[in-house]
Structure formats: C-alpha cells, structure tokens
Amino acid sequence: MSARIPLPPALGSPFTYQEGRTAGLGEGRLRGPDLHRPYRGVRVAGRASGVEERARAFQRRAPDNTYFCSVTAALLYRVPLPLPLEQSPLLHVGVPAPVRAPRVE
C-alpha cells in the first residue's frame, strides 16, 4: 500500500469536496479512509466528534441564513447541560421564518 498524499496545509479542516478538488486532490484521495464525511460534500481530517467540530463541519455546507439554536447553541456557549444532552449527536439548526429548514443527510 502506498503512502497517502498529504493534505495541503492551506486547506484546513473541515473543507468541502470542491475545495479539495481546487487544492489539487484527486477523487480517490478525497475518499480516503483518513477523511471523515460528516455531511454530504464535507470532509474532515480525522473525526468530527465534539459539538464544535460537528458545527464547524455543518457550516461548510449550510445555507447562509441558518443558525445554531437550542441545545447546540447552549453547548457552543459552554452552558452546562445534563449529560444526555451534552452527548447528543444532533445539531439544532434554525432558519428565519418562513424559510424551510435544510434537510441534511
């Protein structure tokens, strides 16, 4: 097995698939096992495990009119919450009315 092509330092993490292609990464490299795909079109070096990392990854593909609310906003502001809420993998995202909330896979 050959060594993986290193990610360009300027790319950062998270990054979009298109940003990776623009930086010169091939399709095979962008599908590499060291890159996690938390959302369609977004890549993260390693895993996006904490709420801040997951929120940063979501922002890479979210529409401009979205914002974090509820439990996610509280966690981002470091408000202490019950453990089940702190460990929840869900992100709470809002949009101004009458815009429909984004559907994310």
Per-residue model confidence (pLDDT) at position 15: 94
Specify the pTM: 0.83
Per-residue model confidence (pLDDT) at position 2: 54
Per-residue model confidence (pLDDT) at position 49: 80
pLDDT digits (tens, 9 = 90+) for 32-86: 999 999 989 999 988 778 899 999 999 998 988 999 999 999 999 999 999 999 9
For residue 67, which of 81, 51, 53, 55 has the smallest C-alpha distance? 55
pLDDT digits (tens, 9 = 90+) for 94-105: 999 998 877 776
3-state secondary structure of 85: helix
pLDDT reading at 1 higher than 60:
no
Per-residue model confidence (pLDDT) at position 94: 92
- Give the single-character DSSP code of 46: B
Per-residue model confidence (pLDDT) at position 4: 77
